[in-house]
Structure 1
Amino acid sequence: MTPHFDLIGMVVTDMGRTLDFYRRLGLAVPAGAEREPHVEVTLANGVRLAWDTAETIRGFDPGYTPPTGSPRTSLAFRCADAGEVDRWYAELTDVGHHGHLPPWDAFWGQRYAVLHDPDGNAVDLFAPLPTPAG
């Protein structure tokens, strides 16, 4: 059998702040999960998204050190339309999350914005732009 993609794992420094960020984006994170060292949710497509504290990772990888520099991966959230991209970007930055690139109309035909979650991971918001009538 060939392995199949099943889980995206992320290491967090503040579980509560991180889970609040992803709850605001609509993920069904269980109540009280912020007190746990490992949390995971199953997304609509069956893929799991998990968060672990650095201490949890060091429990099996004592040499673990958090990466530095710019993110090399991102999670992308599709929004209903361009207005939703703007609304979610504003809502998340209004409560103190880092807005990296404010919403813009990208040349590839999408309204796009980039935030950083509390650990600096890139989180993209996008929606298709309406096609011009013609």
Structure 2
Amino acid sequence: MTTPRVHLDLIGLVVADMGKALAFYRRLGLELPASADAEPHVELTLPGGLRLAFDTTDVVRSFDPQWSPAVGGPAMSLAFHCGSAAGVDAVYEDLVGAGYRSHRQPWDAFWGQRYAQVLDPDGNSVDLFASLADG
């Protein structure tokens, strides 16, 4: 039997409150219609073709009754390029100023990037980054 060719096609996030989750990701530039806030499943295709999906806990439990959220820290993280080092600071301040939780304030990482971390409404880590060379 020939092994099928596989590729990453979709990243799925489980959310407790769709409206709160989508509001957070809209602030990071994702184009999600307001009508999606009341939906149990939402997905969008990102540039390059990768899909990002959001499912409520009720949807996940409908096909996996044993599902429970991860404990002990963020279950996953997404990283958003902010265009410049100053962009990292601006996006971080926007999110924290809007009431979202900081995980790590912006810092100059030893690997040559300006970096910061915030938590989305479900506790997932969201990394903000840009090259230090991009000012």
TM-score band (shorter)? over 0.9
Map of 1:48 onto structure 2 = 51
Q: Secondary structure at the match of 1:87?
A: helix
CA distance in 2 between partners of 1:34 and 1:13 (Å):
12
Q: Secondary structure at the match of 1:66?
A: coil
Q: How many residues align?
A: 131
Q: Percent sequence identity over matched residues? A: 57
70, 74, 79: which one aligns with 2:73 = 70
Deviation at 1:124, TM superposition (A): 0.2
Where in structure 1 do 4 or more consecutive aligned residues deviate above 3 Å? none
23, 28, 37: which one aligns with 1:34 = 37
CA distance in 2 between partners of 1:79 and 1:39 (Å):
24
Deviation at 1:55, TM superposition (A): 0.3
Are 2:16 and 1:13 equivalent residues in the alignment? Answer: yes
Letter paired with 2:58: E
Q: Give per-residue Cα distances to partners, 1:2-28, cap 9 Å, x unaligned.
A: 111100001001110100000000001
Map of 1:127 onto structure 2 = 130
Deviation at 1:73, TM superposition (A): 2.3
24, 28, 51: which one aligns with 1:25 = 28
Deviation at 1:72, TM superposition (A): 4.0
Q: Give per-residue Cα distances to partners, 1:75-94, cap 9 Å, x unaligned.
A: 00011101100000000001
Deviation at 1:38, TM superposition (A): 0.3
Q: Give per-residue Cα distances to partners, 1:97-117, cap 9 Å, x unaligned.
A: 011000001110000000100
Unpaired runs of 5+ in structure 1?
none
Map of 1:95 onto structure 2 = 98
Q: Give per-residue Cα distances to partners, 1:25-63, cap 9 Å, x unaligned.
A: 000112210100000111001100001000000111111
Map of 1:61 onto structure 2 = 64
Unpaired runs of 5+ in structure 2?
none
Deviation at 1:67, TM superposition (A): 1.3
The CA RMSD over aligned residues, in Å, is: 1.1
